[in-house]
Structure 1
């Protein structure tokens, strides 16, 4: 039987990769819709909405306040890191 912590880590990694790929496709489509100002505006709007939703709508069942705060902080940091990694470079 596989180690449950290894299986959990693999599932978390797979989930993260899947979400990154979906985001990459969405950002690519936004990239094609206009100039750099439009692109940056869309990315900023997505980032702000995602972070707002994380802090206002995320409720973890069965966890304490410290864990929920930590998860929200980490999730928000992931959103910002992912979205700010995209650049506009139409050469």
Structure 2
């Protein structure tokens, strides 16, 4: 069982890293041209939109209220952590 848990954790971590790197490239390419202030404004807008959507639109079938609240909280935290990790590259 421990090996299966380790494999599952490795898959989840790999998935998160892959998504983060894809988003980093997309966001950098899309919003770099407008300057640093515009870049940060876009990141904030994306974060607020994503978190708002998670809390207002996400519905999990077959789960209880506690699980739904927990998933929404974790997803929102992941969005915030991910987006605030992006920095404006002046190069």
Tell whether the structures are fold-level matches, with TM greater than 0.5. Answer: yes
1:39 is matched with which residue? 39
More helix by share: 2
Query: Is the contact between residue 30 and residue 39 of structure 1 (CA under 8 Å) also seen in structure 2?
Result: no
Q: What SS does structure 2 have at the residue aligned with 1:33?
A: helix
Where does the alignment leave 5 or more consecutive residues of structure 2 unmatched?
A: none
TM superposition score normalised by structure 1? 0.81
TM superposition score normalised by structure 2? 0.81
Where does the alignment leave 5 or more consecutive residues of structure 1 unmatched?
A: none
Quick one: higher RCO (CA 8 Å, sep 6+), 1 or 2? 2
CA distance 1:82–1:59, shift in 2 (3 Å): same
Count of residue pairs the alignment pairs up? 91
1:78 is matched with which residue? 78
Runs of 4 or more, structure 1, over 6 Å off, are none
- 2 CA distance for matches of 1:89 and 1:5? 37
- The two structures, once aligned, show a CA RMSD in angstroms of 2.1
1:58 is matched with which residue? 58
Structure 2 residue 58 is matched with structure 1 residue 19? no
- 1 CA distance for matches of 2:72 and 2:54? 6
Q: What SS does structure 2 have at the residue aligned with 1:32?
A: helix
- 2 CA distance for matches of 1:61 and 1:4? 26
